[in-house]
Copies of this chain bind each other. A is one copy, B any other.
Amino acid sequence: MDSAIARDQALDAAETLFYGRGIQAVGMDDIRGASGVSLKRLYQLFPAKEQLVVAYLERRDIRWRQRLADHVAGHEDPGRRVLAVFDWLGEWFREPDFRGCAWINSYGELGATSERVTAQVRTHKQAFKDYLAGLVRDAGLPSDLAEQVYLLAEGAMVTAGIEQSGPKPAEQAGRAARMLVEGHGGTVGH
């Protein structure tokens, strides 16, 4: 059954196009052209565009958090791990096709229109916040800090998207996070 392959190709095209040009600016026909998957098959796999959008966000969510977790796992010191998040954000921002946070952008585009998209955005952000909360807890830091680190990360993502200024927002957010961690008695191996 190569419908699994077709599904992957469709999602690959969706990810490139939706992320790069915005969701409403991309038609189902563009997805077909970029993926080589016929319209008929596309509509078998995803009965409506909205479901393709949600599937795109879901798959990207999995991959995004995995990449982050992989990077963070490269550090041993629990205090350092919290800050490693910002290193990774900087790497992400540096990528040439970086255009901001896919979920924030999608929310801006469809948050008022599509409940399913909104739900997916909230799910993703909650998962990210929970992940940070785990890192903060493991470092023996107070739980309030998790939310504060989260806000810094979100601010860095929005700003990096709008300014297209590369990793700078992540570095600045990382310095702020370091101050907050040390202010709470945290220690940070270099």
Interface residues of A, Cβ cutoff 8 Å to B: 20-22, 24-25, 99-100, 104-113, 121-122, 125, 144, 147-148, 150-159, 161-163, 169, 172-173, 175-176, 179-180, 183
Contacts and interface: CB of A to CB of B under 8 A. Distances in A.
Among A20, A25, A150, A154: residue with most chain B CB under 10 A: A154
Contacts of A144: 172, 175
Q: What DSSP secondary structure best describes chain A's contact surface? A: helix
A111 to B, nearest CB: 7
Copies of this chain present in the complex amount to 2
Contacts of A163: 122, 125
Contacts of A22: 108-113
A150 B162 CA distance: 13
A155 B162 contact: no
Contacts of A151: 152, 155-156, 159, 169, 172-173, 176
